Structure 1
Amino acid sequence: MNQTIIIVDDHKLFAQSLQILVNSFEGFEMIKVFKNGSELLDYFEQDQPEPDIILLDMRMPVMDGMETMAWLKDNRPEQKVLTLTVDQEDETIIKMLKLGCRGYLLKDIDPDEFELALNQITSAGYYSNDTISEALSHKHKKLTYEPLTPREFEFLNHACSELTYKQVAEEMNLSPKTVDNYRESLFAKLQVKSRVGLVIFAIKEGICKIN
């Protein structure tokens, strides 16, 4: 049975092109296209079939991606959502991940990676284009990693906030250079390549709680 997908995006031409692309992928089927989060809510409130994955834009009129994700977190917490947008601000990405978004992609992504992301979310529950680890690719296999120091745990929790790295340094009473060292150390220990990778890892491992 195909994995069903709903897209929420106010750009009609992009949405139509995306629908054609998704339907060309083996095992996936686009069932609905909505212009904003409000239309998606109306759909859910009518007791319509829930999709396997929602492709969600960030910048939309009436009800944007952040507001939609917050509603889904409260009302459909198990719903898998993949953000597909042009907004690449770290603060936005981290907020969306903490609201329960399963992956975050930019609209200029290569189609092959987009298909990989859909398959990864289907099989593992999460996708990060910066870190595809054993923890994400095998649901029941626990990722083992080198123990973290108390200060590394402290840094990891700050990394899951909206603070900039400079603000993290101030919060921890450290120099920016030392914070950079903590970041690189965690990248190596946790086998990730970006702050987004750190956040996804921390959420999956229960280190950083989804608020």
Structure 2
Amino acid sequence: MFGSPQSSCFILSKLFDNLNSIGLFYLISAVKALRELLLSCGFRELREDEPWRLAPGDRAFLTKNFSTLYAIGVGGAHRPGNGFTLFAAHTDSPSLRVKPRSDRQKEGYQQLGVETYGGGLWYTWLDRDLTLAGRVIVGPRPAAPASATCPSTVSEATTSTASACSGQLRHCLVNLVRPIACVPSLAIHLNREINSKGFLPNPEQHLAPIICTSFMDQVNERFKAENSFYI
């Protein structure tokens, strides 16, 4: 039996809230949002380095590598030796992933080197405002002067934490809100057969997002070197 329109609207509203909080539905962000949802619903978080004690009626979960989540619900009438039910789903989606060596310049434009992840309709990525979201691993900041202060915490979902002062590698989530790149399509006079033969994108040649002109990149580098404002 289907629920009332009011209950359906409530479920859809919660779904959209979760999707918006995840950002681009990157799998790391999805696990983070699901963890917060389970905690708010009364689930208990387990750790791999601690003993587990589960009893009938318990609800718990475990995360691994910031990208996998296991949720456990023990039935109230469960007895050792009984069977169990397993549900599985994925938290990732097709996307363009930034390569480790992503600096790319071509025809006077600064681009991002990317690779395709999953089976996406890649032509739909053209002529859209694109941004960055995902996980970065950052290392220690170079030694600072004695008068300098170091932040005591690293805040997730911000880009101001690209360096850590603890001397250890750190995991951070990044979600840039504003668009910073675009994959433009060609004008019709540069591809006369697009309407008759369609467009078959070559990921290496056609899907590298443009960030800015090479001149603007040089200006930014100069201002960063002078510790001035950054465009």
TM-score of the pair, normalised by structure 2: 0.23
State which structure, 1 or 2, has the greater radius of gyration over its C-alpha atoms: 2
TM-score of the pair, normalised by structure 1: 0.25
